[in-house]
Amino acid sequence: MTTMLETRELSKSFSLKRSSLSRAAGALGLSRQEDRRVYAVNEVSLSVDQGEVLGLVGESGCGKSTVGRMIAGLLPATSGDLAFEGKDMSRPSVDTHLNIQMVFQNPYASLNPRQRVDQVISEAAIYHGLIRKKDASSFVAGLLQQVGLDASYASRYPHQFSGGQRQRIAIARALALNPKFIVCDEAVSALDVSVQAQILNLFMDLRESKGLTYLFISHNLAVVEYIADRVAIMYLGRIVELADTRSVFARPNHPYTQALIADAPRLDAKVVEHRPIQGELPSPLKPPSGCTFHPRCPHAMPRCSQERPALTSIAPGHWSACHLNDTGASA
């Protein structure tokens, strides 16, 4: 397998403006001097092989979108490395950037309502010189066909389409730049369940026909279980577990992964008892010491609040960051 994308200790923190800082800090009982940064992503090391779908899951606010936006070049990293096809992306060229496109959650918001579909799809390809303006209509017709839409839709406006059709248009817009890698950020979350399945199948068909590679960000475990080859679980800005999809769902190791799976609505609900995850995600303004999951962990030991567990190999291809693995007592 060829590694297509690699991040090493990628981190992102945001500096808070004084007004929001004083509100947030006040709520946390902090003085202004104590902390001025939101630690959104901390030392995330991931690799994605050519043709692979890597799922990235975790509760809202754990840093998934920030990872996706750094990979897509929409946000600079605070520290760490990012490489695409072996090339350093800290100063990405236009070519490398075009190779990575992003599909967002809300196709209502991500399409300009004043642009016709043909303009939405062809604008960036014309701008970057990938096609000539006079070839745009056949180019757009081809892309519409690839995403399962009729070529006659090219002259319509986004508001004339359903949510699923709009997401297909957004996918055609991403494909127009001939990417090798697509970051899907909650790309089916706003759609009805039956439409979700159609769009997931479109992503898989495009993987086959175009050899695409995906980072698939979702808070929905069922979606990730369906589409991903491997899954990375994120908690408060860090990867806490990483393995092939089957292992994550059959043998979740980290107590957070176990809690997420027990919390998720499942089709086989008779097999898995639904247990809501305890407590709330702590603020990334002031993450807990040691293992940041320890205040919510049913298995927490004194060591867990003192020492951050490293992400270590617990089986071939299976990584987890939990002190229980050192004691031999699996959660």
Ligand X SMILES: Nc1ncnc2c1ncn2[C@@H]1O[C@H](COP(=O)(O)OP(=O)(O)OP(=O)(O)O)[C@@H](O)[C@H]1O
Q: Which stretch binds ligand X (CB under 6 A): 2-10, 45-53, 60-68, 242-250?
A: 60-68
Site string for ligand X, 215-244 (x = CB under 6 A): ----x-------------------------
Nearest approach, Cβ of residue 58 and ligand X (Å): 6
CA-nearest of 96, 142, 106, 100 to 121 is 142
CA-nearest of 62, 97, 95, 94 to 82 is 97
Nearest approach, Cβ of residue 68 and ligand X (Å): 8
Nearer to ligand X, 3 or 106 (CB): 106
Q: Is 40 in the site for ligand X (CB under 6 A)?
A: yes
SS3 299: coil
Q: What are phi and psi of 126, to 5 degrees?
A: -70, -45
Nearer to ligand X, 286 or 299 (CB): 286
Specify whether the CB–CB gap between 323 and 330 falls below 8 A.
no
Nearest approach, Cβ of residue 67 and ligand X (Å): 7
* DSSP annotation of 303: G
Q: Which two tokens stand for residue 82?
A: 């990012």
Tell me the C-alpha to C-alpha distance, in Å, between residue 31 and each of 44, 93, 131. 29, 42, 55
| Residue 46, strand partner residues | 7
Q: Is 55 in the site for ligand X (CB under 6 A)?
A: no
Tell me the C-alpha to C-alpha distance, in Å, between residue 276 and each of 14, 117, 211, 267, 271. 30, 42, 38, 16, 16
Per CB under 6 A, the list member of 7, 11, 42, 65 interacting with ligand X is 65
Q: Which stretch binds ligand X (CB under 6 A): 64-72, 107-115, 149-157, 198-206?
A: 64-72
CA-nearest of 57, 170, 58 to 103 is 170
Listed in sequence order, the DSSP H helices in 104-220 are: 107-110, 117-127, 136-146, 163-175, 193-210
SS3 108: helix
Per CB under 6 A, the list member of 10, 38, 176, 184 interacting with ligand X is 38
Nearest approach, Cβ of residue 284 and ligand X (Å): 5
Q: Which stretch binds ligand X (CB under 6 A): 63-71, 86-94, 122-130, 153-161?
A: 63-71
Nearer to ligand X, 11 or 99 (CB): 11
Q: Is 259 in the site for ligand X (CB under 6 A)?
A: no
Q: Which stretch binds ligand X (CB under 6 A): 53-61, 145-153, 225-233, 309-317?
A: 53-61
Q: Which stretch binds ligand X (CB under 6 A): 56-64, 172-180, 202-210, 241-249?
A: 56-64
Q: Is 287 in the site for ligand X (CB under 6 A)?
A: no
Nearest approach, Cβ of residue 269 and ligand X (Å): 24
DSSP string spanning 49-65?
A: ETT-EEEEE-STTSSHH
Please give the residue ranges that form the binding site for ligand X (CB under 6 A): 14, 38, 40, 58, 60-66, 219, 284
